[in-house]
Amino acid sequence: MPEAQVIPLDGPRRPPGPRPAPEAATTGRLHGVIDFLRRRLTGDFEVDEFGFDPQFTDEFLLAPLRPLYERWFRVQLRGIDNVPSEGGALVVANHSGTIAIDSVMTQLALLDHHPAHRHLRMLGADLVFQTPFLGELARKAGHTLACMPDAERLLSSGELVGVWPEGFKGVGKPFSERYKLQRFGRGGFVAAALRTRVPIIPTAIVGAEEIYPMIGSLPPIARLLGLPYFPVTPTFPWLGPLGMIPLPSKWIIAFGGPIHTDEMPESAADDPMLVLELADRVRENIQQSLYRLLVEREGVFF
Amino acid sequence: MARVVLVTGAARHLGGQMTRALAKDPFVERVIGVDVVPPRKVLGEAEFIRADIRNPVIGKIIRSADVDTVVHMGVIATPVQAGGRAAMKEINVIGTMQLLAACQKSETVRRLVVKSTTSVYGAGPRDPALFTEGMAPKHPPTSGWAKDLVEVEGYVRGFGRRRPDVDVTILRLANFIGPRIQTAMTSYFSLPVVPTVMGYDARLQFVHEDDGIEALRVAAASEATGVFNVAGEGIITLSQAIRRAGRPWLEVPRPLLGFAGRSLGSRLADFSPDQVRFLTYGRGIDTGRAAHVLGFIPRYTTARAFDDFVRGHGLREGFTSRVVEATESAVFQAAAAAQRLASSAVDWGSSRSEVRRA
């Protein structure tokens, strides 16, 4: 066991105070792996009604993405305290990057770096749940279909919900339109927040636009594969699988001050004017933070 | 309170259990079971009349016995039980129409309870995570039993409109499971190798057979009306269920599921397009209304009901399950050995370092 060899032998350099013994960590970790394996093989774990499997998500699904978050994109967080530690809240963010990695990075940010280690439950397009493997993993990671009953069920049971109202229009926009917010759906997310009286947290993500600069699209191939677009980037599909390596842009995820909905009138969700106005306010808020962060950042990659 | 109860489909497993449960109920004076075929087991103190609900005889029974509560469980789930799909559809749809016609003419019937299924919600990628009773299906069933029940529910609603003085209750029950019952799902899990759809993991909900019967009994005695979803609490995924049952499984692309299933045997396991969609996407239902309005909470959760089925059917005792179990225990033993090795290496390392420090 390589870990067994690295026990420091020279005492004085060791910092004072108690420290977990490395041997305990090694056997503990191995024990954890065995226990994990046993539970998985015998089906002895619990999923919630949405199919969310927290154990699988934490220890298996998100593990390979952590190096991407910490070392590749070196995500910097701002305003994480704006996300409440308990109770329902709706995180609304801009969508970009050709492949929706930005949503997974936001999920990781909130799980690993929020003081309450919150799971972000995202609302996804129906295409996600139609696609084999992707749909299965999305359900296991706690995400569900973007529809009113599911949004309200999650929010009213006190979950932290994430939406990307631009949808495919945002992820699949050409590089020349980077950081320009697209239309914000039909404002359904605002109605869900109003009905459940949870705060909306406008979130700006900078850096994701540059991971796969989309310079074109091949609509015939997209139609053939049933996808909303088929991206062409400076490296994809020219370099094959190598072209799928994202560029190492430096990211900033900024959680803005919450917009409270509990002071609004009871019937607000049924007032389309108010809903659209509020959706616009959220959109404007995110657009302004994007501009601010773009001015602040020194370079795309550093 | 119900006094004279008529139960259709009384010769079958669930109908028989229901009839016996009602016969034991002190509030029920008389129970009459009706079916086309004779019952396999004695119905306790209940009476049995062999009658076909597809013809007007049923009206005479209701009239002569002054029936006040009708529990309709005579909708058959698989063509095997009825002797072909055509006969099955006739029993299910025409039978229901005759029964409702008889009820409409009756002056004594006060309450109608219909056993339906959550399959009427269909299954698909655009479904909400949980269906409530008021939601319309996004992918309605296209064939078989579930489609029959969509039609049956339609006729029952029509009856409710024509006889507003009769209380009508529809129970939509999740897939039954338990130690004794045989259904398409129990046959599916009993296949020597369970075929699943590659790239999907359906969310499943089950109701234990005892809970299902109890729900129908509560509904027959209650005064609540309307539609109620009934299922054990919580969900399990298909892969989780297979692992809990200790079964070997085989992931196949979706178009091949039916082929794989049929070549693995069992007439009863269902691989119709609707069932394949269900085994692909699964379905969840919200049981809040049954808990709050009907006051019914199942004793078994979905997971416990499934475990009871695994135990009752002896699924872990088959050859293939033993192979799976032996493989698993070999893996655990290897892992445990590795762990012991690791900890002894660590012990050795730390004792050496202590010696040095000393």
Question: What letter represents residue A254's amino acid?
Answer: A
**Residue B46 pLDDT:** 86
DSSP state of B92: I
Instruction: Work out the pLDDT band at A6, boundaries 50, 70, 90.
Output: very low
d(CA B195, CA A218): 37
Measured between beta carbons, the chain A residues lying within 8 angstroms of B331 are 37, 41
Mean pLDDT of A218-236: 88
d(CA B232, CA B174): 8
Whether residues B203 and A51 touch (CB distance < 8 A) is answered with yes
The label of the residue with tokens 């191995």 reads A30
Mean pLDDT of A7-28: 46
Best mutation target among A57, A145, A148, A155 (most B Cβ atoms within 10 Å) is A145
Tokens in use for A130? 């139609």
CA B180, B181, B186, B191: dihedral to nearest 10 degrees? 60
Whether residues A135 and B342 touch (CB distance < 8 A) is answered with no
Is pLDDT larger for residue A295 or for residue B349? A295
Measured between beta carbons, the chain A residues lying within 8 angstroms of B303 are 46
The answer to whether B301 and B233 are in contact (CB under 8 A) is yes
**Residue A9 pLDDT:** 38
Closest to A301 in 3D by CA, of A233, A175, A235, A211: A211
Whether residues B234 and A45 touch (CB distance < 8 A) is answered with no
If residue B32 lies in a helix (H) or strand (E), which one and from where to where?
strand B30-35
Q: If you measure CA to CA, which chain A residue comes closest to B248?
A: A41
Tokens in use for A270? 């049924």
Q: Which residues contact A71 (CB under 8 A, 6 or more apart)?
A: none
Residues of chain B with pLDDT under 50: 358
**Residue B281 pLDDT:** 96
Is pLDDT larger for residue A267 or for residue A121? A121
Question: What letter represents residue B133's amino acid?
Answer: E
Instruction: Work out the pLDDT band at A15, boundaries 50, 70, 90.
Output: very low
d(CA A132, CA A128): 8
DSSP conformation letters of B209-256: HHHHHHHHHHHHH----EEEEE--SSBEEHHHHHHHTT--EEEE-GGG
Mean pLDDT of A42-49: 90
Query: What is the tens place of the pLDDT at every residue in B130-155?
Result: 999 999 999 999 988 899 999 999 99
What's phi and psi for B336, nearest 5 deg? Answer: -65, -40
Residue A242 pLDDT greater than 90, yes or no = no
**Residue B267 pLDDT:** 67
Measured between beta carbons, the chain A residues lying within 8 angstroms of B328 are 41-42
Best mutation target among A42, A122, A127 (most B Cβ atoms within 10 Å) is A42
DSSP state of A234: S
Residues in chain B: 358
- Opening angle at CA B332, ends B328 and B334, nearest 5: 115
Mean pLDDT of A149-168: 95
CA separation, residue A219 to residues A114, A129, A172, A230, A247 (Å): 40, 22, 12, 6, 24
**Residue A204 pLDDT:** 97
**Residue B352 pLDDT:** 63
Q: Which residues contact B255 (CB under 8 A, 6 or more apart)?
A: none
Instruction: Work out the pLDDT band at A42, boundaries 50, 70, 90.
Output: confident
Closest to A100 in 3D by CA, of A141, A71, A44: A141
Chain B: closest CA distance from residue A38 (Å): 8
Nearest-CB residue to A9 (from B198, B254, B353):
B353
**Residue B127 pLDDT:** 95
Query: What is the tens place of the pLDDT at every residue in A179-216?
Result: 999 988 888 999 999 999 999 999 999 999 999 999 88
The answer to whether A147 and A107 are in contact (CB under 8 A) is no
d(CA B144, CA B92): 10
Nearest-CB residue to A130 (from B125, B197, B353):
B125
Residue A2 pLDDT greater than 90, yes or no = no
Per domain, the residue ranges of chain A are 56-211+246-296
CA B337, B338, B339, B345: dihedral to nearest 10 degrees? 110
d(CA A243, CA A235): 5
Q: If you measure CA to CA, which chain B residue comes closest to A34?
A: B335
Whether residues B357 and A11 touch (CB distance < 8 A) is answered with yes
Mean pLDDT of A21-36: 67
| CATH numeric code, A56-211+246-296 | 3.40.1130.10
- CA dihedral (A70, A73, A77, A80) positive or negative: negative
